[in-house]
Structure 1
Amino acid sequence: MEPSLPAVFTQRHYVGGYDRTLKAHCEGAFLKLLEQNRQKKEPSYDYDLIVIGGGSGGLAASKEAAKLGKNVLVLDFVVPTPLGTRWGLGGTCVNVGCIPKKLMHQTALLGQAIKDAPTFGWQLDDKTIQHSWSSLTEAVQNYIGSLNWGYRVSLRENNVTYENAYGEFIGPHRIKTTNNKGVQKIHTAERFLIATGERPHYLNIPGDREYCITSDDLFSLPYCPGKTLVIGASYVALECAGFLAGLGLDVTVMVRSILLRGFDQDMANKIGEYMEEHGIKFLRKYVPVKIKQIKEGTPGLLKVTAHSAEYSEIIEEYNTVLLAIGRDACTRKIGLQTVGVKINEKTGKIPVNDEEQTNVPYIYAIGDVLEGKPELTPVAIQAGRLLARRLYGGADTKCDYINIPTTVFTPLEYGACGYSEEKATERFGNDNIEVYHSYFWPLEWAVPSRDNNKCYAKIICNIADKERVIGFHVLGPSAGEITQGFAAAMKCGMTKEQLDGTIGIHPVCAEIFTTLSVTKRSDGNILQSGC
């Protein structure tokens, strides 16, 4: 409640002209002081929310906040790669991640379908079927361009202000933006959301930034990569190696230690075995130490020197070297130290509480920059929307970071939800989990008679909780489509008994999950001879 004017200024004895002038002056001074106090208590900001980062999570949060009546600004700026590659609004997933990756994976699947087609009666007269890299990248980039434009239109339709500029904190509630022409502005906001994502990590060895590419460059590469060395064992490394080999290229993967760190290792090793059986070479326990260009061109020729603690040094030549050795959080150059936001100094990741709030109360973070959270586009989208609803819509729902379905689009696709076998054992103890598993053979692969007992299904159950399914894993075609449905069931507390009571759809791959009977503990036979 605002204070009233002091009684001395309202007494009737102010009747003379001098007294009336004095009264008006004092009233004005008091009201000015009152307004200054109000502004100190309730600062006026340019925006209710400024989102730093125009990726999937940032866009989702900004539009949700705007729908709830808030004034929102989105800042997005792509720093070019060492080779000069840059892209439009939408973040990693749309431009250099999930979308182009899935399209190129589909291209490789079509190549396999062409090989299978004659066994189904298709007569392919042209025996020299070839693939055009330039046609593929043009089609992919045209589609991505349409998505970039769609995001800009969507922001405008939702009354979100968009600025293609780099944002950097310069003080409490204040941020400086710089566009590609060097023009700077200052904006203020009541709250900020960091959604800057990550960029590929480099080796910091001679020749890496000069001659290597990353996934930021691959999907718009203006020439076919040719003989390619993929350095790394992440899902990005294996996915890229998989579809490049599917296009008929000579591909080698250089692995320092294990495949797919953080994923179920039983499944990861099966993926590696499948890829090796299908012509992808693996150099295990090697790390590159030098990359030298020996021939210019597109592609040129690179000499790679690698060391191993167990084996002798190797030197090999490749047309293209693709680095996929992890990603770095884009947090070190946005002025977080200026406003006191804590980060993990080693990784650049931002610790937050269970409501995505940093140690600075008015600054939040979502997506790949979060410490200890899955680096997945749908997770960032969900977290962003829920955050906006909590801040501005009176909701209280928090993001579930455990039961998250995902798929690795390797040649043998891998879908997963919940705990890996290693994490389940660590969390519940080996005696408290039961693992049911089986190989299966997709009917589509039976006629060409290929890859029997390569596809694999596994569920991990918590014995103490009525054998509730806490881990779901599948290797096979359409793994993502399968996993998405079972993830919903897991959110509802699906048990092994409920799975057994579900009638399968015959003959589909997902049917195997309604008939699992052999446990790892029993060491029974899980090989299949047919559908």
Structure 2
Amino acid sequence: MAPISRECDFLVIGGGSGGVACARRASSYYGAKTIAVESKSLGGTCVNVGCVPKKITYHAAAFAEAIHDAKAYGFSVEQTAPFDWTTFKHKRDAYVKRLNGIYERNLTNDKVEYIYGRAHLVSKNEVEITLDDGRKEVVRAKKILLATGGYPTMPKDIPGAEYGINSDGFFDLEKQPKKVALVGAGYIAVEFAGMLNALGSETHLFIRHDHLLRTFDPMVQEIVTKEYERQGIILHTQSSQSKVEKDETTGKLKLHYNDSKGSGVLEDLDTLLWAIGRTPDVEGLGLENIGVKTGEKGHIIVDDFQNTNVEGVFALGDVCGRLELTPVAIAAGRRLGERLFGPEKFKTARLNYNNIPSVVFAHPEIGTIGLSEPRAREKYGDDKIKVYKSEFTALYYAMMGPEERGPTSYKLICVGEEERIVGLHILGLGSAEILQGFGVAIKMGATKADFDNCVALHPTSAEELVTMK
């Protein structure tokens, strides 16, 4: 092992959203000597191959939809050329690269030392870092944070699966696939399928069961599944895949599968995208050297304060497998920085993981906070639950025919005589922006009466949430 090259109060392994937030809070607020180590691009999944480039692509898809919808409002809009995927992709890459630079400058401004390299735990206070040029350094730290995130899972038992790409590879595509197959029913598969379809790709979506987004409220599952079929996405339900073949001359793929209609072969695919889950990035981290406990799927086990079972070693974000959302990692990171290095009033600081809002940038958008209806009934009992629902046509679609109108559907789940709201689920245009404000109310313990006492904003879709009967 190389000799000790530097020492610090706090060593953060992982330069994603959670790790950077924690490092900056410890250093800039409380003066802890902090070092951050990252082996890839700063910003982690969200900035590089997740939230940011995904939402930019979502905006492109929204323009395609708006061009189509404009005709209903009297605009004679003609698309004179296909969507320029390549130019768009390069502009998106350039924006992400600028964000990488901003992340590095923020670390510098907050006096966090940044090392580009791969970290390997030697002891609970020492980490060996392999630098880009192959040299090794050893850093001694009083406290260590593991925030290495995760990466997309690939199938291991399907011959030819390697011919497909994962969600990271989506952002490397130089040309728009004319014909694409996606495997998965979670938010990544749903988002990518919606975007590709809106931009004009022939889109096939393979799911294991009958509905998309199976961890969401049944209302969301049923409506988004039906809507995707209406929009022209070809759903293969109750499906499994047995083999992938590649034509070495044309590069086209052939997917062998079984679904609810029987066995089949999908030919002439430009792209096959696997969106079947994510794996914690712990390989080579050296957890076994210090005895850090992990779960069945490799996630690092932590308590409510982000403590691992090893004193002085902490973990947060996707590597822990609990609510894998960027704002969750950031919030947990800031709380941990305050608890470890802040004044006495922060000694019990931690993130409350209850009632955290989340959105799916599907077509249409989905927003959710709190419990689904089945989970609420299981937790509180049927006799304690009251559900309010509203399905309507948003004013945006007033000028369109029935076959062109997207769905809007809202649900409130209330508990007890006071009708405290324990679940809110919305599906329709603008759901992401609508949810942020209502999320604050629910986090504060809002009741149905509180919603009723708020004067509605008219005409909006959101007013339905404060006028439900």
User: Which bracket does the TM-score occupy, shorter chain normalised?
Assistant: over 0.9
Counterparts of 1:262 and 1:514, CA distance in 2:
26
Distance 1:295 1:502 in 2: 63
For the 8 Å contact 2:124–2:310, the answer to whether it is kept is no
Q: In 2, Cα distance between the equivalents of 1:277 and 1:390?
A: 50
Query: Mean alpha-carbon deviation: is it higher for 227-236 or for 249-258?
Result: 249-258
Structure (1 or 2) with the larger CA radius of gyration:
1
Task: Please say if residues 292 and 308 of structure 2, whose CA atoms lie closer than 8 Å, have aligned partners that are also in contact.
Answer: yes
Q: Which residue of 1 aligns with 2:314?
A: 364
Counterparts in 2 of 1:401 and 1:296: CA distance versus 1, 3 Å: farther
Q: Distance in 2 between matches of 1:191 and 1:296?
A: 54
The match for 2:16 is 55
Q: In the alignment, which residue of structure 1 is the partner of 2:183? A: 231
Please, which runs of 5 or more residues in structure 2 have no aligned partner? none
1:76 matched to 2:38: yes
Counterpart of 1:77, as a letter, is S
Quick one: which of 276, 289, 292 aligns to 1:341? 292
Aligned-pair CA distance for 1:296: 4.2
Q: Which moved more, 1:393-402 or 1:353-362?
A: 393-402
Q: Which residue of 2 aligns with 1:286?
A: 239
Pairwise CA distance, 1:490: 0.8
Query: Where do 1:434-513 residues align within 5 Å?
Result: 434-450=386-402, 452=405, 454-464=407-417, 466-513=418-465
Question: Counterpart of 1:316 in 2: which secondary structure?
Answer: strand
**Could you tell me which residue of structure 1 aligns to residue 198 of structure 2?**
246
Q: Distance in 2 between matches of 1:272 and 1:212?
A: 24
Q: Give CA-to-partner distance per residue, 1:447-494, whole Å, 9 cap, x none.
A: 123555721000111124x11111011001111100000000111111
- Percent pairwise identity: 36
The CA deviation string for residues 248-302 of structure 1, in whole angstroms up to 9 with x for no partner, is 10000011124223222321221111011000011111111211101445xx310
From 203, 212, 219, the counterpart of 1:259:
212
8 Å CA contact 1:295–1:302 kept in 2: the answer is no
- 1:415-430 to structure 2, matched below 5 A, reads 415-430=367-382
Distance 1:162 1:127 in 2: 47
Cα offset, 1:446, TM superposition: 1.2
For 2:99 and 2:159, the matched residues in 1 are separated by 37
Runs of 5+ consecutive residues of structure 1 not aligned to the other structure = 1-42, 79-87, 518-531
CA RMSD in angstroms, aligned pairs only: 1.7
Aligned to 1:374: 323
Name the SS of the counterpart of 2:285 in structure 1.
Answer: coil
Distance 1:143 1:492 in 2: 36
Alpha-carbon distance between aligned partners in 2 of 1:181 and 1:45, rounded to the nearest angstrom: 18
Query: What's 1:118 paired with?
Result: 71
Say if 2:263 is the partner of 1:313.
Answer: yes
Aligned-residue offset at 1:364: 0.6
For the Cα contact (< 8 Å) 2:124–2:313, is it kept in 1? no
Q: Residues 37-80 of structure 1: CA distance to partner in whole angstroms, max 9, x if unpaired? A: xxxxxx998011111111100110000000110011111113xx
Distance change (3 Å), C-alpha of 1:129 and 1:429: farther
**Is the 1:76–1:165 contact (alpha carbons within 8 Å) kept by the matching residues of 2?**
yes
**Which of 279, 287, 293 is matched with 1:328 structurally?**
279
CA contact (8 A) 2:213 2:221 kept: yes
Which letter does structure 2 place at the counterpart of 1:63? R
Please tell me whether the aligned partners of residues 77 and 164 of structure 1 are also in contact (alpha carbons under 8 angstroms).
yes
Aligned counterparts, 1:377-416, within 5 A: 377-394=326-343, 395=346, 396-416=348-368
For 1:64, which of 17, 25, 41 is the aligned residue?
Answer: 25
- Of residues 128-137 and 432-441 in structure 1, the stretch that sits farther from structure 2 once superposed is 128-137
Equivalent AA in structure 2 for residue 359 of structure 1: N
Q: Give the strand-richer structure, 1 or 2.
A: 2
C-alpha displacement of 1:186: 0.9
Letter aligned with residue 56 of structure 1: S
Q: 2:98: which partner in 1? A: 146
Amino acid in structure 2 at the alignment position of 1:386: R
Shift of 1:128: 3.8
With over 3 angstroms needed to count, the CA separation of the structure-2 counterparts of 1:127 and 1:329, relative to structure 1, is closer
2:212 partner SS: coil
C-alpha distance after superposition, 1:109-135 (max 9, x if no partner)? 1111111112222232x4544211102
Contact 1:141 1:220 in 2 (8 A): no
1:171–1:430 CA distance, 2 compared to 1 (3 A): same
Deviation at 1:321, TM superposition (A): 0.1
In the TM superposition, what is the alpha-carbon distance from 1:369 to its structure 2 partner? 1.6
Give the superposition deviation at 1:312: 3.0
Contact 2:24 2:112 in 1 (8 A): yes
Deviation digits for residues 416-467 of structure 1 (CA, Å, limit 9, x no counterpart): 1111112211211122111100112221121123555721000111124x11
Name the CA shift for 1:453/1:94 in 2 (closer, same or farther; >3 Å).
closer
* 1:203 match: 155
Please list the CA deviations of residues 126-166 of structure 1 after superposition, one character each: whole Å capped at 9, or x if unmatched: 45442111021112111111101100111001000111111
Structure 1 residues 286-295 or 191-200, which shifts more? 286-295
Structure 1, 216-225 or 383-392: larger mean CA deviation: 216-225
- Cα 1:275–1:181 change in 2 (3 A) is same
Moved over 3 A (4+): 126-129, 449-453
SS, match of residue 95 in structure 1 = helix
Q: In 1, Cα distance between the equivalents of 2:406 and 2:63? A: 22
- The answer (yes or no) to whether the contact 1:440–1:512 under 8 Å persists in 2 is no
Match of 2:252? 301
2:93 maps to a residue whose letter is Q
**Residue of structure 2 in register with 1:162 after alignment:** 114
Q: Conserved in 2, the CA contact under 8 Å of 1:230 and 1:252? A: yes
Say whether the 8 Å CA contact 2:364–2:406 is kept in structure 1.
no
Point out the more displaced range, 312-321 or 147-156: 312-321
Structure 1 residue 512: Cα displacement: 0.5
Partner SS state of residue 137, structure 1: helix
